[in-house]
Structure 1
Amino acid sequence: MVEAVRERAERRRKARGLPSFARNFGQIGVLGWQIVVPALIALALGRWLDHRLASGIFWTAPLLILGVGLGCWSAWKWIQRQ
């Protein structure tokens, strides 16, 4: 019986070190938002500039690419800290 208690305590200690499903799911959500938010901000800025300057999609396309790149870089840095 003493051995069973020790095994159970050891399993609990090991389980505490593993992240839960909810935590992993939350981290995926954070990563998604870290990529999407800069992309949407850059898209909105590009559309506004194109509307003000009547330039088609001259500013929208490069700013969208820049926003996605910035979001991916930010997500990469966040993963490195985790």
Structure 2
Amino acid sequence: MSDPEEDPLVVQTRLRRERRARWLREGDMSVGRRLAQIGVLGWIFILPTLAGLFLGRWLDARFGTGIFWSAPCMILGLCVGGWTAWKWMNAK
């Protein structure tokens, strides 16, 4: 017999109850706070992408490889930024 505490339905119900209690306690976020979160999300996504692009351009200049490193480093930065943004949005 499985443990009722590990049942996905029980876990999700508990999470929903905790979220509702937090919402009732704290209320809705203000417009300013929501805009600030959108801005932070943009920076979380853009900074690793730009860092990857600059790293790729630096490697290309250093080794004289044209744009060989620019695209892969930018895509790596894009993936890191997307993963970081995803983790930030889904933080408890």
For 1:35, give the aligned amino acid.
F
1:33 matched residue in structure 2: 43
Structure 1 runs of 4+ aligned residues shifted over 4 Å read: none
TM-superposition CA deviations, 1:46-82 (whole Å, max 9, x none): 0000001000110000000110110010000000115
User: Unmatched 5+ residue regions in structure 1?
Assistant: 1-13
Query: Normalising by the residue count of structure 2, what TM-score does the alignment of the two structures yield?
Result: 0.70
The aligned runs of 1:1-82 (5 Å cut-off) are: 17-81=27-91
Alpha-carbon deviations, 1:13-41, whole Å to 9, x = none?
A: x6x50000000000000000001100111
**1: CA distance between counterparts of 2:51 and 2:70?**
11
**Hey, which of these two has a bigger chunk of helix by percent?**
1
Paired residue total: 68
- Structure 2 letter corresponding to 1:49: L
Identical aligned pairs, as a percentage? Answer: 51
Instruction: State how far apart, in whole Å, the 2-side matches of 1:47 and 1:20 are.
Output: 41
Structural RMSD (CA): 1.1
Q: Secondary structure at the match of 2:90?
A: helix
**Distance in 2 separating the partners of 1:66 and 1:48:** 15
Runs (5+) with no aligned partner, structure 2: 1-23
